[in-house]
Amino acid sequence: MPAHHPGPELLFDYAAGSLREVQALLVASHLAYCADCRRQVAELEACGGVLLEEVAAEPVSDSLLDAVLATIANAPAAPPQPPPEPAKAPNGVLPGPLHRALGGSLDGVDWVRIVPGIHLSGWSLGVGTASACLLRMAAGASVPAHRHTDHEMLLVLTGAFSDEFGRYRVGDVASYDPETPHHAVADRDGECLCLLVQDNPLVFTGALGWLLNRGFRF
């Protein structure tokens, strides 16, 4: 069971449907590891069910039911099902929501080296100003110091890392408030792979940062 969870507000926004796609991807992926957060989301969805019963009903057109019944009558006998997930873990280390967002396994992902030992995936998901990508830290490697003008989150997929706030293992979520400098260092005994979600692009700090922010790669 993970020790670090998304904030209760994020679970709430996720269940209410107001959370945007990029952040929702991290929450949905965390749920694969965390029975407790799954239960909380189920409870908040029950709250949505109660609110649906309370909402001021709006009469629908008389023809709407007939239109739906006609579509049903014309549909093939067996309605199209979503493609079933193969029975044995085909996702490798990836939770289903992330596997679907990537459009396949990790094998197809290309990597961009930021500094020695630190790679970002060529794959990214951008919606509005928010973006998600994968972050790969070699054993013992540290992410260059950076600050950001908005919220940043990491979900650990393999391995573990530490920063000034704690240690994060598989399934854990690290959340950083805006303008919080932090220094993630991967455990020495193995690579650490994370889903990285940012509300706004990163700003690297320090001497290296000046170059990194200009797209310079080492």
Partner 1 sequence: MSLQADSNDPTVPSLEHLLLAVARGRDQQAFRALFQHFAPRVKGYARKLGADDGAAEELVQDVMLTVWQRADTYDPELASAATWIYTIARNRRIDRIRQERRPELHPDDPMLDGDGAPPPDHQVQAAQEASRLRAVIGDLPPEQAEVLRLAYYEDKVHSEISVEQGIPLGTVKTRLRLALVRLRRAFGEGA
- By CB under 8 A, residue 1 contacts partner 1: no
Residue 72 interacts with partner 1 (CB under 8 A): yes or no: yes
**Which of 4, 25, 134, 192 contacts partner 1 by CB under 8 A?**
25
Cα–Cα distance for residue pair 27/155, rounded to 1 Å: 9
Task: Judge contact between 184 and 142, C-beta under 8 A.
Answer: yes
Q: Which of 62, 80, 103, 189 binds partner 1 (CB under 8 A)?
A: 80
Beta carbon of residue 185, minimum distance to partner 1 (angstroms, whole number): 26
Residue 169 makes contact with partner 1 by CB under 8 A: no
Minimal distance in Å, beta carbon 159 to partner 1?
16
Residue 67 as a binder of partner 1 (CB under 8 A): the answer is yes
Q: What is the CB-side half-sphere exposure of residue 44 using CA atoms within 13 A?
A: 17
Q: Which two tokens stand for residue 216?
A: 């310079």
Interface residue with partner 1 among 5, 6, 62, 96 (CB under 8 A) is 96
Of 22-30, 138-146, 185-193, 200-208: span binding partner 1 (CB under 8 A)? 22-30
The residue from 2, 5, 61, 122 that contacts partner 1 (CB under 8 A) is 61
Q: Does 193 bind partner 1 (CB under 8 A)?
A: no
For partner 1, which stretch binds (CB under 8 A), given 33-41, 139-147, 158-166, 180-188?
33-41
CB 109 within 8 A of CB 125: no
Binding residues for partner 1, rule: CB under 8 A, are: 8-9, 12-13, 16-21, 24-25, 27-29, 31-33, 35, 38-40, 42-61, 64-65, 67-69, 71-72, 75, 79-80, 84-91, 94-97, 100-101, 127
